Structure 1
């Protein structure tokens, strides 16, 4: 048996062919690479010629800063593209009236959901991997290890799975693609923006409560757990291991203690639960067979009771 038939089911094969062979896919990859390359070249130009008049060389310290800029720029691009690719995978099938035909195949609900998710994220993963030549500029000047680049791309993959699973779940729950896209972007705004604003809000309240950012009495700040829910804070903790300690222990002598948990580890643990729950809900809601069976059984019981009453009345007469 061919290995592709063993690992790629018909649903996944159809999605791969439709998504990868279109001219829009090639154009999307090209524009994405150009956009990220423009950010890299723009940073080098501003650093060397605008700020310093061309008198300063591009050293390893600037290269590390450019790596951070590229990392956050690509993180924002993923946040905008991943919901658009996944928020309509099920609702679009329902709008085209092809979902019922898909459900009548031998593919299980889990296979359909995972195939839709994998096909959408594979295109996004292709775009992200295609940007590797842009990051090669960083290695020309040093300051970044290959291990950091690998960790960052693995973090990108986790973000894509998170946003993709949320998009598939909302696409399964809502019948309209537009509504599922809006709700998915709303969830992304909460993860990327609201968690950061909540961290700043509670941090200011904590500092006012203890009389300033550096009070005399050392204290433990629980506010760091909120930042652990934000992708930017988790990514910074991957780049710098001491960042998590600074976010948890911001007061006095406790700076020497270790953080209770690394921000990236908290991020992965919490949102892994979100991913699993989202996929479970999607699998259960795409094929509402049990609910129909219960309604059918209640109708049968009601009809039987009615027939028994009619037979009893006829017998009495």
Structure 2
């Protein structure tokens, strides 16, 4: 095993030494910072010219929602072309002839994209501390939201790398990645609400009351990033009366996303392998 992965080193150097990296970070912070200052100004203006500490929770929630939206926009853009771009530049075959395994190439691309996204998350911590210093928030909520963003970022990145490996064109890969991410954020919540309404309608016809949320509905809302984040922040973002599960909602979310991420990464390494019967996936 080599001491340093040359693909990972090359990707990190290209990503962090490019002029676009500080530009993206600055633009990212300007959008979030301007959004935060605008909210605080509205709160200050409507509260007799002083900022109420009790409104910090609402500001923090809105800031977290904006952060999730930006992650859903940035991460697919960084990962949806990592393999298909190499294929379009006709450099993928050169990578596959090196001593690196296909899985090592996939992981190197993934780590490079995730490291930059993690840098974006770390760069926004001062904005969160600006809200946190007014009170009204528990430290465990801030840590919970940060952990939630890291798990969600890994899942979005794994989806982007998988689509980039499967599709030959970057445009198709990018469009598919954004579609899957949109389904995870909005589609699962809509599907959970639709299925629950069907159960509730049938129960009303039979003159019965739903005592607990159906299992499929509970699983859908426990794997919906938007609903899970709101529940971490203490909001009552649930569908139905609830259901006793083996794990808490955040445990179900974390375990599901980690298992799916690892599965997608392994499948991408298998799919990228040009000679699946002879060449080893792990090396």
TM-score (norm 1): 0.80
Q: How far apart in 1 are the matches of 2:195 and 2:93?
A: 48
SS in 2 for 1:150: helix
Task: Map 1:62-77 onto structure 2 (within 5 A).
Answer: 62-77=55-70
Structure 1 residue runs of 5 or longer lacking an equivalent are 251-256, 294-317
Q: Give the Å deviation of 1:149.
A: 1.2
Which of the residues 238, 250, 253 maps onto 1:267?
Answer: 253
1:165 is aligned to 2:131: no
Which structure has more relative contact order (CA 8 Å, sep 6+)? It is 2
Rounded to whole Å, the distance in 1 between the matches of 2:186 and 2:169 is 26
| Candidates 23, 27, 39, aligned match of 2:35 | 39
Correspondent of 2:13 among 8, 14, 17: 17
Q: Deviations over 1:61-116 (max 9, x none)?
A: 20011111111110010001101100110111111111111111111222111000
**d(CA) in 2 for partners of 1:260 and 1:289?**
41
State the shift of 1:271 in Å.
Answer: 2.2
Higher share of residues assigned helix? 1
- State the distance in 1 between where 2:240 and 2:193 align: 13
Residue aligning to 1:284: 270
CA positional deviation for 1:264? 2.0
Q: Supply the distance in 2 between the matched residues of 1:292 and 1:118 (Cα, whole angstroms).
A: 27
Stretches of structure 2 that go unaligned for 5 or more consecutive residues are: none
Q: CA deviation at 1:121?
A: 1.0
Larger radius of gyration: 1
C-alpha RMSD of matched pairs (Å): 2.3
Residue aligning to 1:86: 79
Give the Cα separation in 2 of the matches to 1:107 and 1:138.
46
Alignment partner of 1:221 is 2:221:
no
Structure 1 residue 260: Cα displacement: 5.5
Tell me the alpha carbon deviations over residues 112-161 of structure 1, each in whole angstroms, 9 at most, x when there is no partner: 11000000111111111101111111122101122221221111111111
